[in-house]
Chains A and B, each alone.
Chain A
Amino acid sequence: MASKKIHAIYTDDDLLMQAVKQTRAANYHISEVFTPFPVHGLDHAVGLAATRIAITSFLYGLVGLSFAVWMMNYIMIEDWPQNIGGKPSFTFYQNMPAFIPIMFELTVFFAAHLMVITFYMRSKLWPFKKAENPDLRTTDDHFLMEVEADNHDVEILTKFLYDTGASEISLIENEQDH
């Protein structure tokens, strides 16, 4: 079955936000939005489920913190006991102030890097992957909203999208069956 989609291009993020809200209110289905930069509140307006990446980030942070504690304890206390700051107590607890910067850095390091890698995997992004955005201008200064047109009258939909402030509208017919 051929799937029909309409690509509506906007030139301003506020305009896009408004158009997204109007389109959703009119019961059209937005399948994707391409923007050159993250637009605040867009995910909420399009109706995407809240991201769970913050939860993974928190868990990765805990992993990093535990790793740092284990690592510093092994390196500085067990394997080769160190005299830290002229206070040779040789216990983790009493030397902890010296380890806190490392614990902090590794927490941030793990949380940030693993979160980005998780994001890449969930978005199916990897090196040399062919770009999916349908219009190169969405990487510069244009915003593209993709609306499904299968079950709608294309004429009416086009008129509606023009009224929401789209500067350019094109009908995409996709012959492949997904």
Chain B
Amino acid sequence: MYTLPSKLKLFSIIIMVLGLAGMTYGFLTTPKTVEDVKRIMAQQEDHHAEGHAVAEHGDETTANFVDSARGEEGYSESAMEHATDLNPEGHGSSSHDEHVLHQLQTRPWSATFVAAFFFMMIALGVLVFYAIQYASQAGWSPALYRIMEGITAYLLPGSIIVFLIVAFAGTHFFPWQNDELVAGDKILQGKTGYLNLPFFLIRAVIYLLGWNLYRYFSRKNSLAQDEVNNYGPYRKNFKISVFFLIFFIVTEASMSIDWFMSMTPHWYSTLFPWYVFSSLFVSAITVIALVTIHLKSRGLIPFVSDKHLHDLAIYMFAFSIFWTYLWFSQFMLIWYANIPEEVTYFIIRIQEYKVLFFGMLILNFVFPILVLMNSDYKRVPWFVVIAAVFILVGHYIDVFLLVMPSTVGHNWSFGIPEIAALLFFAGLFIFVVGTGLGKVSLRPKNDPFIKESENYHF
């Protein structure tokens, strides 16, 4: 039996309190009026003037799109002109200042959403990984079932918080909820059949119900298997896992369209749901590996060997490459075609978030591939931990870049609201997962494959 170490418990509670305080501060200190914004902007300009008198941002950031044959500064300017999603007019604001005000008011919402979704997607990804193990009747993994179930304990609180955020964010996130804007926009009018508030909320409720019901029943069957001497609960779990996977892949696609892609309702990419899925899945497997190493170091799971860790590390390695593949496929097609309504997505990310945008590639691709390439290193816990930290930081940045450029645009920074939200949800995650792991014995009994899993070797 596992109990959350009291120091870790205390730590999680402290960062939750700190995080909550920081988030409250973030929501309370947003500018209320256009006058506040003007004052902030003036302060910023003074600050800039003190430093470099000539430092202009626009000059070098468009360099990537220079057209040397025509002697033009590139296409980004003319492309962004039409990007009503990202422009002041796009949100129906009458002036630049009002637009900035809107974005500054959105910032705490976005900061909270990024962290909330990041930890929710870990729990959801673990649930999917767990369902795949059942549906494929995997022989190596049953020894890890209780660990995965412990992590998915976070799904219920996590998904409810995410639901509340997307339900109440309104036009902070979703310009299509602004009736004035839709009235003057033919493209958005064409999308109202899907992008309307009641249907949006109904869909979100369906996702939540489906995911959490599967988690509830699969956990129940999995525990029931411990007590019986036939394979009834296991068979039931097999069946519901298959249906859950079908349900998940459909809802995941529309979830990522609803919650992320519709932040810029003019822009679309058919690869987008897969891309979000790959990020979700690789973070989830990474957390399974981390929790396994934590439990192993406390000597609580002698039946899990370094072979299991090896397999988890293989998954981390493989899905890091899978993520890069999807990221690049999406980027290259849009970059190559260079269609104004599509490139806006990357222009804002490259111009305003350059370090994060390319740094994320190094964290999510170069580091995992180099650290985990050697087969022997995949069994060395501290090596896996290093790779795991890179991957988790990288995928937090990935979620950050899904949300921030589309909602707060140029007015982003990484300050108190972002750090506080990260602390709060990290604390909540540690607390809930730690409690979830401690509910039952970590060793599943009577599973048809448990013996194979414990004797697993290759």
A88 at the interface (CB under 8 A from B): yes
Surface stretch bound by B, among A89-97, A114-122, A142-150 = A89-97
Indicate if the CB atoms of B337 and A88 lie closer than 8 Å: no
- Docked pose: A71 CA to B424 CA in angstroms: 51
Indicate if the CB atoms of B332 and A88 lie closer than 8 Å: no
A41 at the interface (CB under 8 A from B): yes
Which residues from A are CB-within-8-Å of B332? Answer: 97-98, 100-101
Which residues from A are CB-within-8-Å of B70? Answer: 88
CB-CB nearest in chain A for B68: A89
A85 with B338: in contact, given A40-B458, A94-B64 (CB under 8 Å)?
yes
Indicate if the CB atoms of B335 and A97 lie closer than 8 Å: yes
A86 with B335: in contact, given A40-B458, A54-B375 (CB under 8 Å)?
no
Which residues from A are CB-within-8-Å of B373? Answer: 58
B66 at the interface (CB under 8 A from A): yes
B 56-86 binary contact with A (CB < 8 Å = 1; else 0): 0000000011111110000100000000000
Within 8 A of B (CB), among A98-133: 98, 100-101
Interface residue count on the B side (C-beta < 8 Å): 20
- Docked pose: A40 CA to B310 CA in angstroms: 15
- The winner among A86, A87, A90 for most chain B CB atoms within 10 A is A87
Indicate if the CB atoms of A88 and B335 lie closer than 8 Å: no
B414 at the interface (CB under 8 A from A): no
Indicate if the CB atoms of A97 and B331 lie closer than 8 Å: yes
Interface residues on A, range: 10 to 19
CB-contact partner of B65 in A54, A87, A98, under 8 A = A87
Indicate if the CB atoms of A89 and B67 lie closer than 8 Å: yes
Indicate if the CB atoms of A87 and B457 lie closer than 8 Å: no
B336 at the interface (CB under 8 A from A): yes
CB-contact partner of B68 in A40, A58, A88, A98, under 8 A = A88
Taking the closest CB of chain B, its distance from the CB of A36, in whole angstroms, is 18
CB-CB nearest in chain B for A85: B336
- Docked pose: A90 CA to B70 CA in angstroms: 12
- Docked pose: A54 CA to B66 CA in angstroms: 42
A83 at the interface (CB under 8 A from B): yes
B328 at the interface (CB under 8 A from A): yes
Taking the closest CB of chain A, its distance from the CB of B67, in whole angstroms, is 6
Indicate if the CB atoms of A100 and B328 lie closer than 8 Å: yes
- Docked pose: A146 CA to B79 CA in angstroms: 72
Taking the closest CB of chain B, its distance from the CB of A160, in whole angstroms, is 24
Which residues from A are CB-within-8-Å of B328? Answer: 97, 100
CB-CB nearest in chain A for B74: A87
- Docked pose: A40 CA to B140 CA in angstroms: 15
CB-CB nearest in chain A for B64: A94
Indicate if the CB atoms of B67 and A85 lie closer than 8 Å: no
Which residues from B are CB-within-8-Å of A89? Answer: 66-68
- Docked pose: A62 CA to B418 CA in angstroms: 40
Taking the closest CB of chain B, its distance from the CB of A76, in whole angstroms, is 14
A87 with B331: in contact, given A41-B457, A54-B375, A94-B64 (CB under 8 Å)?
no
Which residues from B are CB-within-8-Å of A86? Answer: 338
Which residues from A are CB-within-8-Å of B337? Answer: 85
- Docked pose: A99 CA to B67 CA in angstroms: 19
Seen from chain B, the residues whose Cβ lies within 8 Å of a Cβ on chain A are 64-70, 75, 328, 331-332, 335-338, 373-375, 457-458
Q: Pull 26 A–B residue pairs with CB atoms less than 8 Å apart, ordered by A.
A: A41-B458, A54-B374, A58-B373, A83-B69, A84-B336, A85-B336, A85-B337, A85-B338, A87-B67, A87-B75, A87-B338, A88-B67, A88-B69, A89-B67, A89-B68, A90-B68, A94-B64, A94-B66, A97-B331, A97-B332, A97-B335, A97-B336, A98-B336, A100-B328, A100-B332, A101-B332
Seen from chain A, the residues whose Cβ lies within 8 Å of a Cβ on chain B are 40-41, 54, 58, 83-90, 94, 97-98, 100-101
Report the 4 A-B pairs with minimum CB-CB distance, sorted nearest first.
Answer: A88-B69, A40-B458, A85-B336, A97-B332
